């Protein structure tokens, strides 16, 4: 299972939110590159970079941060937040993203998202399937839909999607453990996908359990920043 540390960006700074609420913002470092280099120095290979300003603005905003991290580290970066147009996607890839994550656009503009999947291929496009009480949430988690997460993912599996990041919003940033049952249900319904867990992970034991359940990857944010998980413990156990 791949370990994927997260950097969320607001106004160029490394921050974390709880349950996607911008009012809960906590700044951990004003230099995301310093954070990224710390991850790289610990032997981690991947990075989940989220443009929270972009998610709110509905277009890419913090592309310079992406460009800097891609140019000055060897981390394999997946980038999300505010990618709503072909131009947004072009900028993200030109600035060094190896993959992009689309959630709101996949729910609201499926034809556009499908065109990205066809143009760039399943290795570069990740489906963002974020949920609250089993329903898909969009627009930086500020808007709920009536579509179930399992049907949402199944629909895109039929269209060729392979990578899926799923966050249980009620768990995000709460340090109470991930939604194991959610991931079990998703993998039972869609066994072919490479599922990446996000939200709530607080311990090495959580990661081991996710690995045992067949997750392809796990995104960790606040647990690292708050010291619940030590970087030196990750490289010895996971990819």
What integer is the mean pLDDT of 211-237? 91
pLDDT reported for residue 234: 87
pLDDT of residue 33 exceeding 70:
yes
- Of 82 and 126, which is predicted with more confidence? 126
Q: Say if 64 falls within a structural domain.
A: yes
3-class SS of residue 193 = coil
204 pLDDT band, cuts 50/70/90, is: very high
- Does 130 qualify as catalytic in the annotation? yes
142 pLDDT band, cuts 50/70/90, is: low
pLDDT reported for residue 141: 55
* Catalytic option among 8, 172, 206, 216: 8
CATH of the domain at 190: 3.20.20.70
Greatest Cα-to-Cα distance within the chain, rounded to the nearest angstrom: 43
- Does 21 qualify as catalytic in the annotation? no
Q: Say if 70 falls within a structural domain.
A: yes
104: Cβ contacts below 8 Å, ≥ 6 apart: 55, 58, 84, 128, 138, 139, 140
pLDDT reported for residue 140: 54
- Provide the residue range defining the domain that includes 12: 2-234
Distance CA 130, CA 185 (A): 14
Question: 14 forms bridges with which residues in the sheet?
Answer: 9, 29
Q: Using an 8 Å Cβ cutoff, are 126 and 164 in contact? A: yes
Total domains, the chain: 1
* Catalytic option among 53, 130, 206, 216: 130
Distance CA 114, CA 13 (A): 32
pLDDT per residue as tens digits for the range 38-54: 999 999 999 999 999 99
Q: Say if 239 falls within a structural domain.
A: no
């Amino acid at each position: 299972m791949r370990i994927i540390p997260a950097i969320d960006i607001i106004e160029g700074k490394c921050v974390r939110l709880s349950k996607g609420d911008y009012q809960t913002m906590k700044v951990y470092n004003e230099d995301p590159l310093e954070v990224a280099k710390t991850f790289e120095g610990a032997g981690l290979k991947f990075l989940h970079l989220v443009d929270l300003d972009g998610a709110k603005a509905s277009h890419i905003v913090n592309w310079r941060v992406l460009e800097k991290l891609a140019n000055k580290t060897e981390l394999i970066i997946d980038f999300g937040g505010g990618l709503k147009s072909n131009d947004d996607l072009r900028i993200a890839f030109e600035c060094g993203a190896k993959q992009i994550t689309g959630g709101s656009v996949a729910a609201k503009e499926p034809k556009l998202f499908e065109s990205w999947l066809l143009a760039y291929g399943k290795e570069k496009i990740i489906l963002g399937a974020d949920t609250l009480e089993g329903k898909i949430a969009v627009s930086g988690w500020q808007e709920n839909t009536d579509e179930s997460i399992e049907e949402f993912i199944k629909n895109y599996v039929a269209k060729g999607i392979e990578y899926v990041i799923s966050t249980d919003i009620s768990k995000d940033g709460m340090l109470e453990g991930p939604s194991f049952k959610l991931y079990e249900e998703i993998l039972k319904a869609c066994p072919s996908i490479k599922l990446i867990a996000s939200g709530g992970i607080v311990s090495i034991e959580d990661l081991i359990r996710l690995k045992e359940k067949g997750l392809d990857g796990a995104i960790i944010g606040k647990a690292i920043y708050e010291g619940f998980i030590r970087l030196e413990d990750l490289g010895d156990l996971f990819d």
